[in-house]
Amino acid sequence: MIERVWKCKIGGQADMLPMGADSPMRKAIRAAYLELTGCEPEFIFSGWAAKLTEGERAVVENREPSETHIIARISKFLADHESGPTTCMSHELLREALKELYEHA
């Protein structure tokens, strides 16, 4: 078998979320995965703290991605690592910024 990973971000305006708001979303995704694949998911990563990338935000707002935003992220990375070792987190931020830049070039 091949490992398959499906990614989804869903959201919009909402005032308050009830306690345990993650559970119904996870249950629905688990059930859909099982129905589609015939297998139980081995993992589910989800939560209400996700953020949209600049590219995703641009699609939602029906506009071009902000080059200023992407360049600022790259500049911050370079400034933060002018001296000293880089970290996995900083590498991830740079990868995300570059991905946004090239996905919408």
pLDDT tens-digit profile of 17-59? 999 999 999 999 999 999 999 999 999 999 888 888 888 889 9
Give this prediction's pTM.
0.61
Q: State yes or no: pLDDT of 66 exceeds 90.
A: no
Residue 78's pLDDT band (cuts 50, 70, 90): confident
* Long-range contacts of residues 44-50, Cβ cutoff 8 Å, at least 24 apart: 46/22, 47/22, 48/17, 48/21, 48/22, 50/9, 50/11
Residue 68's pLDDT band (cuts 50, 70, 90): confident
Question: Which structural domain range is residue 94 located in?
Answer: 54-103
Q: Tokens 């900083």 identify what position?
A: 90
4 domain residue, yes or no: no
65 & 93 share domain: yes
44 & 58 share domain: no
Percent of the chain with pLDDT over 70: 84
Structural domains counted in the chain:
2
CA distance 43 to 37: 14
CA distance 96 to 52: 11
7 domain residue, yes or no: no
- As a whole number of Å, the CA-based R_g of the chain is 18
76 & 60 share domain: yes
6 domain residue, yes or no: no
60 & 89 share domain: yes
What tokens were used for 22? 């993650």
Structure confidence at residue 38 (pLDDT): 96
